[in-house]
Amino acid sequence: MRVLIPAMEKRSALAAARSLGKKGIEVIGCSEKKWAPGFFSRYCMKKYVYCSPFKDIQRYLEDIQEIIRKEKPEVLLPINEETLLPLLKHREDFERLIKLPLPSNEILDKSLNKISATEIVKGLNIPCPKLGTNFPLVARPIYSRRIEGNKVVAEKLFYVKSKKELSVFDPNRFFLQEYISGQGYGFYALFDHGAPKAYFMMKRVHEVPFTGGPSSLRESIYDEKLKECGLRILKELKWHGVAMIEFRRDAKDGEFKFIEINGRLWGSLALSVYAGVDFPHLLFKLAKGEEIKEQFDYKIGVKARWFFGDVSYLAGVLFGKKIDKRPSRWKSVLEFFNFFQKDMCYDYFTRDDLKPALLNIFISFLKIFKKII
């Protein structure tokens, strides 16, 4: 059995490779980066470098097609949008060669379009951020990734703190929402043609930046309301495959506010695997058409840390611009140096697979050095 995992520079790809490699599935890794940490995992059996879809989509597709024809993997895992969107444009051609465990393109587009996804969720009477009028506002991209000509283009959200800053706002690419002060939460699930087979929940203890973003420290939780909201959304969409739904718990009223849906594996994937829900293996089995037993139990209170993400979090708390209430500087410093908390795991560091962590340390210090000089 063979699986193709793109974007091996990503934490989610490394977590997936470790998960499937331990199950005896041969991992074929590929990336646009020669020094992708996932390449150096003991579980990555073969390595390929492809042309970045940010530079040339046609060459990227040719490279992926060549890897598939040469290695004949059975399943391709969805890791990030930039590697996925070009494949979806030629989905029928690629599905003759390899299994893509995904919902239909129509459903994916409804979820990737953040305006469309928000309207669907509003229709279910699940709270969403209001269209903003009071500063600060969040200028959220309609699509985080989009195809423009022969390239994939990335869009990032930004904060609008005054009317003057609205001059850079493009309503064709962004929409404005109120800023939700509070903590980030995630609902993760695997669905089989509209039926839930597994789910998992976590809260973001640290985010990068602290005003909202990817989690550098997160903890497994269970919350009945969060579960209810997540299941209702994915059932409404008749989802198939994996999905991550991001919420923020509003500090004002305690309600979970919907932020976005991602129909792929996620950056904090290692936490769910550590806690007992092995999404990469479940997704591989789903793609193969194998029976999947429902898995709704997992360990609560497990933490996973992205160390250099936590370095960025601490720097933001100590020196970053203030948009929201800043976390305690002293508390943040003490938390940073608490390396061995109970049930603490790390995204990169595992005792049986050290090389990716060592390479990540080297690359991270190199980036810091380049910024200094």
Share of the chain above pLDDT 70, in %: 97
Does residue 295 carry a pLDDT above 80?
A: yes
Q: How far apart are CA 260 and CA 215, in angstroms?
A: 15
Q: How much is the average pLDDT of 210-218?
A: 88
Q: What's the CA gap between 126 and 358, in Å, rounded?
A: 43
Mean pLDDT of 304-315: 89
| pLDDT number for residue 167 | 76
pLDDT grade, residue 323 (50/70/90)? low
CA dist list (Å): 54 to 14, 276, 364: 21, 35, 22
Q: What is the pLDDT of residue 95?
A: 96
Residue-range domains of the chain with CATH? 2-100 (3.40.50.720), 104-127+181-373 (3.30.470.20), 130-179 (no CATH)
3-state secondary structure of 348: coil
Asked whether residue 369 carries a pLDDT value surpassing 90, the answer given is: no
pLDDT tens for 93-108 read 999 999 999 999 999 9
Closest CA to 277 of 293, 291, 263: 293
The residues facing 224 across adjacent strands are none
Q: Would you state the pLDDT for residue 322?
A: 65
The residue that leads in pLDDT, 324 or 70, is 70
Mark 177-205 as b/e (b = at least 16 C-beta within 10 Å): bbbbbbebbbbbbbbbeeebbbbbbbbbb
Over residues 109-147, the pLDDT tens digits come to 999 999 999 999 999 999 999 986 788 899 999 999 999
150 pLDDT tier (thresholds 50, 70, 90): very high
Tokens of 232: 């209702």
Q: What is the DSSP string of 91-139?
A: HHHHHTTSB-----HHHHHHHHSHHHHHHHHHHTT---PPBP-SSSEEE
Angle value at C-alpha 260, between 256 and 265, nearest 5 degrees = 115
Q: What are the structure tokens assigned to 365, written together?
A: 């210090």
- Could you identify the residue written with the tokens 């500090």? 251
* Model pTM score: 0.93
Asked if 218 and 205 touch (Cβ cutoff 8 Å), the reply is yes
**Gap between the Cα atoms of 250 and 180, Å rounded:** 6
Q: With residue 52 as reference, give the H or E element that holds it.
A: none
Q: How many residues are present in the chain?
A: 373
Q: Which two tokens stand for residue 45?
A: 């059996």
If you write DSSP's letter for every residue of 208-262 in order, what string do you get?
Answer: SSTTS-SEEEEEEE--HHHHHHHHHHHHHTT--EEEEEEEEEETTT--EEEEEEE
